[in-house]
Amino acid sequence: MLSSSPTALVASLMPDVREAARQAGAMAMERFREGAQTAAQVWYKPGNSPVTEADIAVDTFLKERLTGLLPEAGWLSEETADDPSRLSRSLVWVVDPIDGTRAFAAGRSEWCVSIALVRDGKPILGTIHAPVPDRLYEASLAGGALLNGRTLRVPDGQDRSRLLISGPKPLMDRYAGRGAEVECLPKIPSLALRIVRVADGTLDLGFASANSHDWDIAAAHLILREAGGALTDLTGTEPGYNRSHPTHGDLVAAAAWLHPRAIRAMRG
């Protein structure tokens, strides 16, 4: 399929990716207990980052399903040992089987399954399934964004007196300190959801501190961009993907009308 145009490739893959995301969410839900500790076994990676047996089960399922759909694509996932051969691939699946594992393990709703297909360093397909509640975000390059099958566009919030923002406290304080009228909402544990909630208008600004990874943001980045928003670092540069070190600096997600103002405030 490498000779296919991105549009044709994504169109052929999207129904199967959508179904894989829903099945992955259903698998995770088997071990999710709303308002209570997960039924899954939990352990901790270096840096005190939690992982559950649900993360591993979903990762295994998605790797088999997605690489079966597109065998020529490389693979990059939070829960799979990195294979440097991905760097020589034009196409790479970028996956977080459960983004927001801490929320998942604690019985909170702010977690999701995140799937992106990256071509030559840029996402061309993005699918995010948040099982609680049942919300499926998806986008294709130059094909627009959808939420549960309906067109998704960033609302025009220019008449809003106070901007709704979420992210790490130091970044929110930095923005608020520039004189902006804001309401600081609790940090959404899933970075992917923090970004797509800018797309659906739940947030006006979403911040991410340094050291996010490709799997945290690739799908959400495409969804936000196709919905009429922007995700960049503090220089205004969009993230690139499938590099040797798949990490990023501080990031700002915002509607297109607000984004330049936010960048100026954060740099000022």
Q: Residue 41 burial (CB < 10 Å; 0-12/13-18/19+)?
A: exposed
Q: How high is the pLDDT of residue 80?
A: 97
Dump pLDDT digits (tens) for 55-65: 999 999 999 99
Q: How high is the pLDDT of residue 22?
A: 98
Q: Which residues of the chain have pLDDT under 70?
A: 1-4, 157-159
Please enumerate in sequence order all residues whose Cβ is within 8 A of that of 61, keeping only pairs 6 or more positions apart, or say none: 20, 23, 24, 27
Q: Which CATH superfamily is domain 6-151 in?
A: Fructose-1,6-Bisphosphatase, subunit A, domain 1 (3.30.540.10)
Distance CA 145, CA 214 (A): 20
Distance CA 160, CA 141 (A): 30
Q: How high is the pLDDT of residue 96?
A: 98
Q: How high is the pLDDT of residue 175?
A: 94
Joined together, the tokens standing for residue 14 give 């999207």
CA distances from 109 to 37, 105, 188, 190, 244 (A): 12, 10, 10, 10, 32
Q: What is 163-267's CATH number, 3.50.50.60, 3.40.190.80, 3.40.190.10, 3.40.50.10140?
A: 3.40.190.80
Q: How high is the pLDDT of residue 159?
A: 67
pTM over 0.95: yes
Which three-class secondary structure state does DSSP give residue 152?
coil
Residue in 180, 19, 203, 51 with CA at minimum distance from that of residue 115: 19
